[in-house]
């Protein structure tokens, strides 16, 4: 492993001054030193750079020339792989938020690049590291509930139209075009982390509700939600639900060969942060109780974790990234797990467009398997729609109403965005 750093702060640069600020603020608590920021939003970039005493860049290539050890990517959802590959080739360790790849070809190239460079790569998926999901991993590793047979993960995050438009300025912004299955890592990653399993096959159905669409003045041309079934490499089935149907939900359940566990449901995302574990009467082992529900403790660093977002998960992604750089060992959420769970969303969309037909998930650590996908550039993000590329809805090409367009114009104007006519046409 290259560029192991043990006796000094890890110099890190962050891409994206919106979501990226969480990583920037947490860096110093995990042995990292923020030295550079990059974004094309110049006015805000210079303001933020001054507050952090960090160098600022609007040119990514110039940014990569800065004296630093690692890069954290918090740019657009569908643009991570090209940025990550370029950073790795420039000799930087990389942590990439949300989705590793938006096409299977990108996933193949990313895996190859990590192997070729020998650098650390981590998916900054924060939901495995909430207090309750870390506790369920601990319980699973004790063997108390046996081997997983079935699990459920939910990440459903509806937004009011006004707030949605503010963070998606443009007709072709990724948030308006992302298919319902793509944003699946928040539902899948915790289950993989808890059980140490990998997806091998997916079936998916997309959820289309004209009633929801009519109630919201939105420019979105994608469906409101989806259900994905993942067959895992031990034979278990995971059900994933999300992502924009009324009724916030962030919830996980695992059924094993000797019992079950879940987080207790509550309002919003995290509820009361309780874990419930239960067994059948006839299956109790000596010393076990039939059922227990409790608030778990952090494994360590609880005070620091409590200060950050996403249920404390934002601290732990930085923590494990820094740990990997210092030890030279790839993190749990390495490139193979990251690309696999990101590709589940892509492959699930293929399934949904075939009304739930099964689709295989390749082993991205196996060159002979992944080679089949090295030229697979299938993507919904191209507004020109190359032949064979998918639409973002199972209904085909959807067009926002004139009322929705005028509402977007109003919100973007109020928010101070420039050239609103251009945003509505591009």
> How many Cβ atoms from other residues are within 10 Å of residue 82's Cβ?
16
* Token representation of residue 251: 């919830």
Q: Under DSSP, is residue 349 helix (H, G, I), strand (E, B) or coil?
A: helix
Q: Under DSSP, is residue 89 helix (H, G, I), strand (E, B) or coil?
A: helix
Question: What number does CATH give the domain 128-301+335-373?
Answer: 3.30.360.10
Q: How far apart are CA 421 and CA 65, in angstroms?
A: 36
- Please spell the DSSP secondary structure of 138-161, one letter per residue: HHHHHTTT-SEEEEEEEEE----H
Residues 6+ apart with CB under 8 A from 92: 13, 64, 68, 69, 70, 71, 119
| 251-297 pLDDT, tens digit each | 999 999 999 999 988 765 555 679 999 999 999 999 899 999 999 99
- Looking at the chain, the domain(s) classified CATH 3.40.50.720 span 10-127
Q: How far apart are CA 125 and CA 103, in angstroms?
A: 18
Query: How high is the mean pLDDT of the chain?
Result: 92
| 207-251 pLDDT, tens digit each | 998 888 777 788 899 999 999 999 999 999 999 999 899 988 899
Closest CA to 121 of 112, 129, 133, 130: 112
- Looking at the chain, the domain(s) classified CATH 3.30.360.10 span 128-301+335-373
* Token representation of residue 379: 């993507």
Closest CA to 228 of 262, 196, 199: 199
Q: How far apart are CA 55 and CA 62, in angstroms?
A: 11
Question: What number does CATH give the domain 10-127?
Answer: 3.40.50.720
Are the C-beta atoms of 319 and 295 separated by less than 8 Å? no
Whether 382 shows a pLDDT value over 80: the answer reads no
Are the C-beta atoms of 86 and 28 separated by less than 8 Å? no
């Amino acid at each position: 492993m290259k560029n192991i750093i043990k006796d000094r702060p890890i110099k890190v640069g962050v891409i994206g001054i919106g979501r990226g600020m969480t990583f920037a603020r947490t860096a110093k608590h995990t042995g990292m030193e923020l030295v550079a920021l990059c974004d094309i939003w110049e006015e805000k970039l210079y303001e933020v750079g001054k507050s952090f005493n960090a160098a600022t860049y609007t040119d990514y290539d110039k940014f990569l020339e800065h004296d630093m050890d690692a890069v954290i990517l918090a740019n657009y959802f569908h643009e991570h792989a090209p940025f990550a590959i370029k950073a790795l080739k420039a000799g930087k360790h990389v942590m990439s938020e949300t989705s590793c790849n938006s096409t299977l070809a990108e996933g193949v190239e990313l895996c190859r690049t990590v192997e070729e460079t020998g650098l650390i790569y981590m998916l900054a998926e924060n939901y495995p590291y909430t207090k309750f999901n870390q506790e369920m991993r601990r319980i699973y590793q004790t063997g108390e509930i046996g081997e997983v047979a079935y699990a459920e993960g939910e990440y459903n995050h509806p937004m009011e139209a006004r707030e949605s438009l503010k963070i998606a300025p443009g007709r072709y912004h990724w948030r308006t075009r992302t298919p319902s299955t793509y944003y699946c890592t928040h539902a899948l990653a915790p289950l993989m982390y808890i059980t140490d399993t990998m997806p091998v096959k997916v079936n998916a159905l997309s959820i289309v509700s004209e009633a929801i669409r009519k109630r919201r003045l939105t420019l979105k041309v994608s469906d409101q939600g989806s259900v994905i079934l993942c067959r895992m490499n031990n034979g278990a089935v995971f059900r994933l639900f999300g992502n924009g149907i009324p009724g916030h939900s962030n919830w996980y359940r695992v059924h094993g060969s000797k019992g079950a566990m879940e987080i207790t449901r509550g309002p919003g995302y995290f509820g009361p942060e309780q874990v419930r574990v239960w067994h059948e009467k006839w299956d109790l082992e000596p010393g076990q109780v039939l059922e227990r529900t409790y608030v778990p403790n952090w494994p360590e660093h609880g005070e620091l974790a409590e200060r950050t977002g996403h249920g404390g998960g934002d601290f732990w992604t930085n923590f494990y990234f820094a740990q990997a750089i210092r030890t030279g060992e790839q993190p749990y959420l390495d490139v193979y797990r990251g690309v696999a769970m990101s590709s589940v969303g892509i492959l699930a969309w293929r399934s949904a467009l075939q009304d739930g037909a099964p689709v295989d998930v390749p082993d991205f650590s196996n060159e002979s398997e992944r080679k089949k996908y090295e030229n697979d550039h299938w993507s919904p993000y191209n507004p020109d729609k190359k032949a064979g590329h998918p639409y973002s809805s199972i209904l085909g090409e959807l067009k926002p109403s004139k009322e929705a367009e005028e509402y977007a114009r109003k919100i973007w104007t109020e928010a101070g965005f420039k050239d609103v006519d251009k945003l509505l046409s591009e």
